[in-house]
Structure 1
Amino acid sequence: MTAPVDDPAEAFDVLGDQTRLSILRALADADEPLSFTRLRERCGVADSGRFSYHLRRLCEYFVRETGDGYELGHAGSRVIAATGDSASGRPEPSDAAGSEARPVWGDEGCGKLFHVHLSAPWRAE
């Protein structure tokens, strides 16, 4: 379960490992929660103890454990989005069939500007 933290540097420190990043990518590519074994296989890590350690670290901030396995938490999804990782092969929303060009602020066809403020997931409300 993800937990709030006082120091965002702690959360960023967790991302400083290739195994952990591969776990996030594998979860991003999954259409449903993955079991420990399936996730480990997708990441190609043979040592289950080593994999368990890295997964536990991610569960502190970026991954949720559910009854069905593991899935990206909100912060984990934001990390994947921020890295521009397209490993999933999923099309970007703008590439979807039938999508139209969206007006940009200042363009003639843009009547409204929305500003959405999301609080940092590591801060307690």
Structure 2
Amino acid sequence: MTDSVDDPADAFDVLGDETRLAILRALADADDPLPFSRLRERAGIRDSGRFSYHLRRLCEYFVRETDEGYELGHAGSRVVAATTVASGDTESQSATADTGECPVCGDEDCGKLFHVHLSPPWREG
């Protein structure tokens, strides 16, 4: 069964919380996937229940859970890149900037910050 998103704005609504942005930043700064407790620690969130809730919301669109832990999905990487550019933070731009082929559409330097999907790609099928 495929979960569909009734309103694509829901994906952007998920980003409207500082806790979720802290989680995305912590993942962007990590070299490898982070286990739950390590990610919570790096994001600076003491309450594990609160953290779990916000992480689940991010996993709907922007974060992937792997066997090793959590990592940014493509959309999450794009959000971090967009917020880095918007804030003028040039030091961290190199860590999140696109290089080469777009992993979504396959075009060289497609230039799109977001590819909009009505359902998260990992939930299809």
What does residue range 1-125 of structure 1 map to in structure 2 within 5 Å? 5-84=5-84, 89-90=91-92, 92=94, 116=110, 120-123=115-118
Using the aligned pairs only, state the percent identity.
Answer: 65
Over the residues paired in the alignment, what is the CA RMSD in angstroms? 2.9
Question: 1:50 and 1:60, CA in 2 relative to 1: closer, same or farther beyond 3 A?
Answer: same
TM-score in terms of structure 2 length: 0.70
How far did residue 89 of structure 1 move?
A: 4.7
In terms of Rg, which structure is larger? 1
Structure 2 unpaired stretches of 5+? 96-107
SS in 1 for 2:33: coil
5+ residue gaps, structure 1, are 94-113
Instruction: Report the number of matched residues.
Output: 103
Q: Secondary structure at the match of 1:71?
A: strand
Query: In proportion to residue count, which structure has more helix?
Result: 2
Compute the TM-score of the two structures, normalised by the length of structure 1.
0.70
Q: State the partner residue of 2:103.
A: none
